[in-house]
Structure 1
Amino acid sequence: MSEHERETGLFTGSVLFGGLWSDGEVAELLADRALIGAMLEVEAVLAEAGEAAGLVPAAAAAAIAATARGLDIDPEMLAAATARDGVPVPALVQRLRRAVTGEAAGFVHLGATSQDVLDSAMMRQAGQVLAVIDRRLAGLVARLTALADAHRATMMAGRTRGQIALPVPLGLRVAGWAAPLIRHRRRLDEMKPRLLVATLGGPVGSLSGIDPGAAARLEAAFAARLGLTLPPMPGHAQRDGLAELGSWLSLVAGALGKIGADLLIMARSEIAEVRIGGAGGSSAMPHKRNPVRAELLVAAAREVAGRSGVLHGALIHAEERDGAAWTAEWQSWPAMAVVTAAALNHADGLLDDLEIDAPAMQARAGDGVDRGSADRFIDRVIAEAALRDGRPSDGRSSDGRSLGGRPSGGKLSGEGEDA
């Protein structure tokens, strides 16, 4: 079993079920060795920040940083102590101190507490994971907006409350899949400064034992060197950042679940408006083509939504540090990130293999050709996606061609009715 296969929960870490629930790239970023490496980097940066603040001699800071960055600690070496202490940092610091020679050992972990190291390390990991998820979201949005553009005139039966309502373009439904994903990318931009923060508060969150002026220099240098935001105060007992991360992952997974739920209906035998390639087989009914990837999008949304409640429960964080609340976070958000990343891969695979039966859709839509404002709405979604990626916000490419692939009149902002 590889390192990442032991991480982040029963199904995400299972060899048997890993193909359904896990994602190798993200799980590797969250593996034990990756976390240990991130904690050692925090200790290296802490020593360097201590030098910048005038608290650690230059020679000692250099020795600690070099040793921390070159130290290889096997997770098994920390397992027993972690079970005893409830956190891996004390044993890690002990090993680092032993590896640092001479007087420099006395400056290891200066002013910090275990939560400072683990929280800061996890936020470094979270930044890497979110970069992967955002990259995949960007790719999926690009594919969905292109699909929406290509099917502006493909009419299908619109359905409300499970019943056929009025004809609607397939492109509008697909644009509706893309629109929340674009918003979630914007939410991520807004969330990062609140979430990806450095934590340095010492034993009770006051950086006690360090002169306030030196402490200010220390925390500023610490955050800057880690590439994290410096919050107004250490968030040892303020866990809204991780709760917001859980909500965001649930929003992303839920938007993907909506795509899966729609495709499950569209692929039903008696509807058959789409066919999902790469479908799974049945042990008893060889004629079936089970829409496994679409099912997994729905299941992943439910799984991530359920785990988000744990992170919201951890907001009830008593006094200056609450081990019961804090430790509940460690299993939850990494598993949610892995499942969300896996769902993004499944969504991409769905689009690879999706076969759209336009004649079947048109037959059920009847003679309806009224697209109403659908084209305008599709244009807006395409323009929003372009704006998020830094392209012109008017829905046109740099050469003036409509990103929707056709002449675009009127306004895309929602003002006026001439588009």
Structure 2
Amino acid sequence: MAIHPIDGRYGSKEVKAIFDEENKLQRLLDVEAALARAHAKVGGIPKKAADEITRKASTRYVKVERVRAIEDEINHDLMAMVKALSEQCEGDSGKYVHLGATSADIMDTSLALQLRDFMVFLGDDLKQLKAVLLKLAKEHKKTVCVGRTHAQHSVPTTYGLKFAIYATEVQRHLDRLSEYKPRILVGQMTGAVGTQAALGPKAMETQEITMKELGLKPVMVSNQVIQRDRHAEFLFHLALIGETLNKIFIEIRNLQRTEIDEVAEGFEKGKQ
């Protein structure tokens, strides 16, 4: 049961589904399948094996419960997934699963797939919010109200200006989203220390093909993990968006005080 209000009340079902356990597993499997296909294309493994791995790389075959059971035995979440996928593959195809990769190759690349899906919703929500704010700005461009500095009355302003300011701030968030996507939506197949030594003589080509299969850009250079400044930038952007929303909400709360009573929250039947 969710204990955080954003998880339990305000979260979107569609966005929650992106990060739930089954979809996380499916994205890991997607990366393993893409890696197998890349190996086959460069002649590293039989095409028949890559086809079998791709066919079985689905939560229809690899169940969350089975992965958990294996993890309880070996205490390694990613290798539990690898073993669960391998045991579903017919013949000797299973031995080619995860060939040359390190855990972070699969996990960090699959996270990029999840973030890409989430960014679609984030962008759509920001566009919808901007549209609402612009509509209000036009409707209230002549709605005069008290201007305030340091919470004290100042010269008059309009509600149209307030909404226009919010709308331009949201547009900057959209600009940031477009600008940093290429830095964040990347994947890697670089092995345990980033040298690609375990991926064979066609390692660079294998990485390129894997990422093309997934619709991602490969990292330029890396070590074991995709460098975390990328993820930190994304989290900082979410914090900026949160602060914009907080600013709007605080303004509404202050202006609906009994002694001010300029605006009010939308009322729904049954709320006290």
TM-score if structure 1 supplies the norm length? 0.61
Give distance in 1, aligned partners of 2:75 and 2:241: 32
- Structure 1 residues 123-170: Cα deviation after superposition (integer angstroms, max 9, x where no partner): 101111110111011011011011101111111111111111110111
Residue 149 of structure 1 aligns with an amino acid whose one-letter code is: K
Residue 223 of structure 1 corresponds to 211
Residue 106 of structure 1 corresponds to 95
Residue 4 of structure 2 corresponds to 11
1:203 and 2:192 correspond: yes
Residue 364 of structure 1 corresponds to none
Give distance in 2, aligned partners of 1:112 and 1:41: 14
Give distance in 1, aligned partners of 2:76 and 2:145: 56
Residue 149 of structure 1 corresponds to 138
Task: Judge conservation of contact 1:200–1:234 (CA < 8 Å) in 2.
Answer: no
Find 1:116's aligned residue among 96, 105, 113: 105
**Aligned-pair CA distance for 1:209:** 2.6
Q: Aligned in 2, Cα 1:157/1:200: closer, same or farther, shift over 3 Å? A: same
Find 2:27's aligned residue among 21, 33, 38: 38
**Aligned-pair CA distance for 1:72:** 3.4
Residue 181 of structure 1 aligns with an amino acid whose one-letter code is: V
- Structure 1 residues 176-215: Cα deviation after superposition (integer angstroms, max 9, x where no partner): 1111110011100111110011121112221113334x11
Give distance in 2, aligned partners of 1:85 and 1:243: 31
**Aligned-pair CA distance for 1:70:** 6.1
RMSD, aligned CA: 2.1
Give distance in 1, aligned partners of 2:48 and 2:40: 9
The correspondence of residues 13-412 of structure 1 with structure 2, limited to 5 A, is 18-19=8-9, 21-69=10-58, 71-79=60-68, 81-82=70-71, 87-212=76-201, 214-234=202-222, 236=225, 238-278=227-267
- Structure 1 residues 4-46: Cα deviation after superposition (integer angstroms, max 9, x where no partner): x66xxx31586xxx12x43212111110000001111111111
Q: Aligned in 2, Cα 1:12/1:224: closer, same or farther, shift over 3 Å? A: farther
SS in 2 for 1:209: helix
Task: Judge conservation of contact 1:44–1:69 (CA < 8 Å) in 2.
Answer: no
SS in 2 for 1:276: coil
**Aligned-pair CA distance for 1:116:** 1.0
**Aligned-pair CA distance for 1:60:** 1.1
Give distance in 1, aligned partners of 2:76 and 2:180: 27
SS in 2 for 1:111: coil
- Matched length: 271
Give distance in 1, aligned partners of 2:120 and 2:95: 37
Q: Aligned in 2, Cα 1:132/1:85: closer, same or farther, shift over 3 Å? A: farther
- Structure 1 residues 264-308: Cα deviation after superposition (integer angstroms, max 9, x where no partner): 1111111110121226988xxxxxx6xxxxxxxxxxxxxxxxxxx
User: Unaligned regions of 5+ residues in structure 1, if any?
Assistant: 283-288, 290-419
Give distance in 2, aligned partners of 1:211 and 1:39: 22
SS in 1 for 2:155: strand
Residue 67 of structure 1 aligns with an amino acid whose one-letter code is: K
Task: Judge conservation of contact 1:87–1:114 (CA < 8 Å) in 2.
Answer: no
Give distance in 2, aligned partners of 1:280 and 1:261: 23
User: Unaligned regions of 5+ residues in structure 2, if any?
Assistant: none
Give distance in 2, aligned partners of 1:92 and 1:26: 23
Give distance in 1, aligned partners of 2:210 and 2:262: 56
TM-score if structure 2 supplies the norm length? 0.92
Residue 148 of structure 2 aligns with an amino acid whose one-letter code is: R
SS in 1 for 2:156: strand
**Aligned-pair CA distance for 1:87:** 4.8
Give distance in 1, aligned partners of 2:266 and 2:200: 65
SS in 2 for 1:99: coil
Give distance in 1, aligned partners of 2:124 and 2:76: 32
Residue 234 of structure 1 aligns with an amino acid whose one-letter code is: S
Q: Aligned in 2, Cα 1:237/1:125: closer, same or farther, shift over 3 Å? A: closer
Give distance in 2, aligned partners of 1:160 and 1:281: 36
Residue 24 of structure 1 aligns with an amino acid whose one-letter code is: K
Residue 155 of structure 2 aligns with an amino acid whose one-letter code is: L
Q: Aligned in 2, Cα 1:23/1:87: closer, same or farther, shift over 3 Å? A: farther
Residue 164 of structure 2 aligns with an amino acid whose one-letter code is: A
